[in-house]
Every structure is written in C-alpha cells, then in structure tokens.
Amino acid sequence: MKGRIPFLGFFLMSFILLSGRAFGYRNLSVTSRSFLAIVTAYSSSPRAVTASGSHGFDGAVACPRKYPFGARFMIEGKIYECRDRLNHKYDSRFDIWKPSSRAARLFGKRTLKVVPVNETTPLLAEWIQLQPVPY
C-alpha cells in the first residue's frame, strides 16, 4: 500500500500538468497566425437566419466551431465575420456567404490563406509577405 500512494500521486500530478501534451491537445489561439484552409461559398434565401440569429450579408462567414461568433478573418484581402456554423464533418472549412447561388458556385472550393483579425493584428505585415523583385 505504501508503494502505491507515491505512484498514484505522481500519476495524478503528471496527468494534470501534462495532459495537454500527453493527449495531443493544444491551446489554440484565435489570434495566432495565418493558416491555409479550404474555403467554399454558400447562399441563402433573404428570410433565412444564420446560426448566430442574423441574416446573411456580404461579409458573413460560416466558420469552424472552435471560433466564437463575431470572430473576424481576412480572406483574400477582405474582412469576414463569423456568423454561421458548418456541419461537424466540415469543421475545418470556412464558408463565405454570397448573395446568389450562381455567385457561390462560381466561387467554388479553394484553399486560401486565412488570417484571424483583431484590433492588434498587424494586417499588412502578416498578409503581404514582401518578396525580392528579380531584375
């Protein structure tokens, strides 16, 4: 019995202190860095309501569930606000709202750079990566 108590204490402390690393979890920060994501487009009827309760508008995006409603992202140089959710099987994608189904179909499915935006994000420094110009 005496030998089990220190082992049990060690096991519990290591589980509490190292659980994130041991099980592969990370603290994902919404404002961390830019990343590549699959971006698609969708449209809805004028009376349809998004998951956040607002109507679709130019600048609305359905985003993965790890991001709260109201989170903002820069995709292709335009700021989008998280107002809708995707099905769980598409939880790593972003879905931009378009005013018509034709516009959504023309947008298609793309892999694009997505930059989480907040008031302190240096937008130009992160979005535009200056490359040397060949002469």
Query: pLDDT averaged over consecutive 10-residue blocks of the chain (135 residues)?
Result: 58 50 41 81 87 86 90 90 89 90 93 82 45 46
φ and ψ of 123, to 5 deg: -60, -50
- Give 104-122 as a DSSP string: HHHH--EEEEEEEE-TT--
**Annotated domain spans of the chain:** 35-122
Give the per-residue pLDDT at 98: 92
The residue ranges of DSSP E strands in the chain, in sequence order, are: 35-42, 60-63, 72-75, 78-85, 93-97, 110-117
CA atoms of 56 and 73, how far apart (whole Å): 16
Give the per-residue pLDDT at 117: 85
CATH of 35-122, one of 3.40.50.300, 1.20.140.10, 2.40.40.10, 2.40.40.20: 2.40.40.10
Give the per-residue pLDDT at 21: 46
Give the per-residue pLDDT at 51: 86
Mapped onto helix, strand or coil, the DSSP state of residue 35 is strand
Give the per-residue pLDDT at 104: 92
Q: Which residues, 6+ apart, have CB-to-CB distance to 61 below 8 Å?
A: 73, 75, 80, 81, 82, 83, 84, 94, 95, 96, 97
